[in-house]
Structure 1
Amino acid sequence: MPTAAEPPRSTAGAPEPTDPRTPARPAADARPFWPVLLPVLLALAALTRVPSFLRPVWNPDEGFLATQARMLADGGVLYDTVVDRKPPLLPWLYQGTFALFGDESLWPPKAAAVLAVATTAALLASLARRRWGERAGWTAGLLYAPVSVCLGPEDAQAANFEIFALPFTVAAVWCADRRRWGAAGLAVAGAFLVKQTGGAVLLPVAYLLWRSVPRGRERWTALARLGAGSAVPVVAVALATGWRGFLFWTVTGSGSYASFAGSELHVLGRGLGNTALVAAGYVGLLVPLAAALRGRVPGRRRVLTPDLWVWLAASAIAVLSGFHFFGHYYLQLLPPLVLLATGALRLLPADRLRTTALCCALSCSVFLGWTAVADDTELEHARRVAAAVREHAAPDEKVLIWGMHPEGYWFADRAPASRYLTAGLLTNFSGGRDGHRVGERYGVEGGWRTFRAELTKDPPKVVVDDSRGKPYAPSRMPTLRSFLAAHYERVERVDGAVVYVLRAER
């Protein structure tokens, strides 16, 4: 399949190049493309992400990453005394920005997220320009940033995993489109090392290789380069962090988390709700694509090429994996949708481009407006809990916040007493369960044994029961319940959370 095919004459009157296999090129008297577009993309990314700087954290993932980064900076060991079910690149990014700019604010990773969005938009612009010309390049680049914030505020504005995985994802396709198979493999590895589902981009990359490289020695050489580029960085990171821990926490240790048994209706409701929300936010892309598919538009198959559909299908599989359907998961659908919509607009009358631009701008405005009135109840709760922790624990004393908001550790500026920063890791509630398959028996393998040893060796000065009626309450966890009864006394209730302090030895 020619990866840079130019479509036949569209209804907008665009001329055909003499050789459809030749990438579209700007006219000799055209204005500079990148010197103009890149500053615009950076400004647009910054503008659409202004709300991300207006709150210290937007969701617990940011609090988890910030606390992890502090633990790593204090000598913690990833996948040993600092754990999560994610690959290491984003914790390392947070740690690096904290080392350079301090750890009192999350503005450095939030600024890095702006750069990640602008980079993704630029790569999409480059892909579209190579295939369909400069106008398409501008279209793809300018569509991405506004639509990327058309999610719930806590999903759209957080400096989260998908935001940083997508530049690698698009870079992988960009390299494959140019037959740079080793570089494509490195980009696939980068996407995987930010979040496991980022590795799904290997499917469209492999498809492009199969379609564009002739059979025989040349194809085997390309496969070897792609495989080496994909595998070597992952293996190197696994060896650097300890391959057993890396394999457990990123692949084999999430069986209970990935299952939705017992919570089918709960998960289905979230999936339907977030899918409807995303469809509303992405409507500016979906409408022209549907119009191009519905009508008998000349050149449709040469523009909406199979590799783009394979990419979209792989992204959909990534969204479905784990059966949790959190809003930020859907960001992986956006890059292929932007390119498909750009291709569709290439085939449709010129006025459709204006309509699409207005629709995307309106959607962006609505979702940005949502951030201004978004509920901050949980944020204020975490701050009040942190204030209580600071009151009862000195700066050098460890604490345990038994809940789902690890940002409490970061706000309190107190070291966690355990490597398990949320109750979910020990009870399986982190998947958003509705009460089924939540308990000690469903936590990570060996977790309660390690947790008990941590608490026994160095008991935290303060324990906060932040379950607030959730199914992971200490009353349902025999190990924690008996530990609290034996060593702690209740001192106060803060906004529904119960604060315990270590009893003095007699």
Structure 2
Amino acid sequence: MYAEPLAQPRSVTPPRAGRGYWRRLLPLLTALACLTRVPSFAHPLWNPDEGYLAVQARMLAHGGELYETVVDRKPPLVPWLYQGAFALAGSDSLVSVRLLAVLAHLLTAALLAALARRRWGDTAGRTAGVLYLLISVGLNPEDAQAAGFEVFMLPCTAAAVWCADRGHWAAAGAAVGSAFLAKQTGGAVLLPVLWLCGASWGGLLRLGAGALVPVLSAAVLTDPAGFLFWTVTGSGAYASFTGSELHMLARAVANTALLAAACAGVLPLVARARTKAADLWLWLASAAGAVALGFHFFGHYFLQLTPPLALLATAALRTVPRARRNRALVTSACCCALFLTWGLLAPRPELTHAQRLADAIGRRTTPDDRILLWGIHPETYWLAHRAPATRYLTAGLLTNYSGGRDGPGVGEKYAMKGAWATLHRELATHPPRLIVDDSRGKPYAPDRIRSLRRLLAGYEEVAVVDGAVLHARAR
């Protein structure tokens, strides 16, 4: 374990020098954070994760219990954030959580600026904060602009390294634990934090205690057994490379290429740089491992790479002439503008489908009716203002279908443990007014799922909307 004094680098800027630094920088970062998130307000929803979280928040607000009647393979922090935002601003719009996402990006940028300033000076601090915001939009807009799990994980990971850089080990541990509570892979930031801690046993004890407090508190506030199952032990089949390997590999290459394009102005400098900040390289490597974990390579996973990339790029820019540095920043700004234009102009066919389907559901049900949506787009529940008839909001939890996985990894036997028995019990207690088959030829279609065909036996087809089939309960 590395144990040199690198754990607490001395500040380049005298403590009382430049007292107006943050008064000048924070308005700039705030304006840039707002500008780079303008596309996020262009659509009511960006991806199924937002829809899932919105439905969960409504269920929690109506008495649902996390990891009991409200379930997902994720920790509780972001569902709680959605629930809190909806309590303050209503659940008919995601504007409130989008504003929280802007704040999360701003906080991440400010923490990175503080890290860079402490190590390399005022100019480096400004560069790191600005660079992060520019490259953080460099993915498909449905990944970069959504108020998803990774967005709220990023300030926690940045805070963990910020605290470790100053030797605040208990606070660093609490930040690591909070990152895990936003999304499990956020815990990967523990590696650079451990590097900075070195062999200090007192620091390690405080770090461990700090990390355990928020995690154990979340387990106690929910259901400890359910928390453990849904966040750690129950996702073995999901975190597998089996099924559609070429599809997943293509997604990994595509999203890597998108992020590389967003970093085109600085990536060549980072690749050639001889930056000795080993903790930053370890941060990047651990984030890359977190992206690969589970072998799904969704675009929003890649957001975890952007904070260490911004810091490494800042370190690399310090060693080049001013003209080269300016070109790199201008190139990054131009790439950012292209991604923002994409976000504002790109069509959203799946959202349009979900809206049409929600309208059809609304015409055939009342607000008190429950429905079962058999698909992977839970946002339809939210758009239709209808309560789900089950805790399982997607077919993925009942078949292990996710992100294009096909073949031997999809089917009833790959469902979450006990899911089908629970589903049958819930539907017997509260039979849904409609069952909406939104599989549209996917591997979890009724002709491949025997239990679903049995459920549909008591229903009759009443409408077809863009390939989705609505089945009403026979009278």
TM-score normalised by L of structure 1: 0.91
1:411 to 383, 398, 401: 383
Map 1:367-386 → 2, pairs under 5 A: 367-386=339-358
Change (3 A) 1:220 1:482: same
List aligned pairs for 1:85-484, cutoff 5 A.
85-210=73-198, 219-293=200-274, 300-301=275-276, 305-484=277-456
Paired residues of 1:63 and 1:408 also in contact (CA < 8 A): yes
Q: Find the aligned partners of 2:438 and 2:353 in 1 and give their Cα distance.
A: 10
1:443-465: CA deviation from partner (whole Å, max 9, x where unpaired): 11111111111111211001110
Cα distance in structure 2, aligned partners of 1:127 and 1:432: 39
CA RMSD of aligned residues (A): 1.5
For the residue of structure 2 that corresponds to 1:419, the secondary structure is coil
1:297: which partner in 2? none
SS at 1:499 equivalent: strand
Counterpart of 2:238 in 1: which secondary structure? helix
Cα deviation for residue 417 of structure 1 reads 0.3
User: Deviation digits for residues 80-118 of structure 1, max 9, x if unmatched?
Assistant: 110000000000000000000111100000000000000
Matched, 1:23 2:4: no
Q: Classify 1:350/1:31 alpha carbon distance in 2 versus 1 (closer, same or farther; 3 Å).
A: farther
Alignment deviations for residues 365-394 of structure 1 (CA, whole Å, 9 cap, x no partner): 111111123231110100111111111111
- Choose which of 457, 466, 470 in structure 2 pairs with 1:499: 470
Deviation for aligned residue 1:356: 1.2
Change (3 A) 1:78 1:28: closer
Amino acid corresponding to residue 125 of structure 1 in structure 2: A
CA distance in 2, matches of 1:495, 1:28: 64
> Do the aligned partners of 2:7 and 2:197 also contact (CA within 8 Å) in 1?
no
Q: How far does the alpha carbon of each residue in 1:180-231 deviate from its partner, in whole angstroms, 9 at most, with x for none?
A: 0000000000100000000000010011000xxxx5xxx2211110000001
User: How far does the alpha carbon of each residue in 1:280-332 deviate from its partner, in whole angstroms, 9 at most, with x for none?
Assistant: 12222312212434xxxxxx43xxx1111111111111111010001111111
Which letter maps to 2:280? L
User: Structure 1's 104 and 389: CA in aligned 2 closer, same or farther, altered over 3 A?
Assistant: same
1:52/1:157 contact within 8 Å kept: yes
Query: 1:483 Cα deviation (Å)?
Result: 1.4
1:3, distance to aligned residue in structure 2 (A): 3.9
Q: Quick one: which amino acid aligns to residue 201 of structure 2?
A: W
8 Å Cα contact 1:4/1:23 also seen in 2: no
Secondary structure of 1:381 counterpart: helix
Counterpart among 7, 28, 35 of residue 47 in structure 1: 35
Q: Tell me how far 1:431 sits from its aligned partner.
A: 4.2
Aligned residue pairs total 472
SS in 1 for 2:139: coil
Deviation at 1:262, TM superposition (A): 2.8
* Distance change in 2, residues 1:476/1:208 (3 Å): same
The residue identity in structure 1 corresponding to 2:303 is L
- Alpha-carbon deviations, 1:235-263, whole Å to 9, x = none? 11112111110011000111111002132
C-alpha contact 1:324 1:432 (8 A) present in aligned 2: no
DSSP-derived class of the 1:400 partner: strand
Amino acid at match of 1:253: G
- Gaps of at least 5 residues in structure 1 are 6-20, 294-299
8 Å CA contact retained: 2:52, 2:379: yes
Q: State the one-letter code of the partner of 2:206.
A: R
Contact 2:460 2:474 in 1 (8 A): yes
Structure 2 Cα separation of the partners of residues 376 and 63 of structure 1: 14
CA distance in 2, matches of 1:280, 1:425: 34
Task: Give, as a single letter, the amino acid of the residue that structure 1 aligns with 2:460.
Answer: E
Aligned partners of 2:454 and 2:260: how far apart in 1? Answer: 48
Measured in 2, the distance between the counterparts of 1:372 and 1:427 equals 35
Name the amino acid aligned to 1:375.
P
Counterparts of 1:475 and 1:290 in 2: how far apart (Å)? 50
TM-score by length of 2: 0.97
CA contact (8 A) 1:409 1:416 kept: yes
Question: For 1:391-411, what per-residue CA distance to the aligned partner results, in whole angstroms no more than 9, with x for missing partners?
Answer: 111100101111111000000
- Counterpart amino acid of 1:277? L
State the match for 1:56 in structure 2.
Answer: 44
On the 8 A contact 2:7/2:164 being kept in 1, the answer is: no
Deviations, residues 134-169 of structure 1 (Å, cap 9, x unaligned): 000010011111110010010010001111100000
Contact 1:26/1:133 (CA < 8 Å) preserved in 2? no
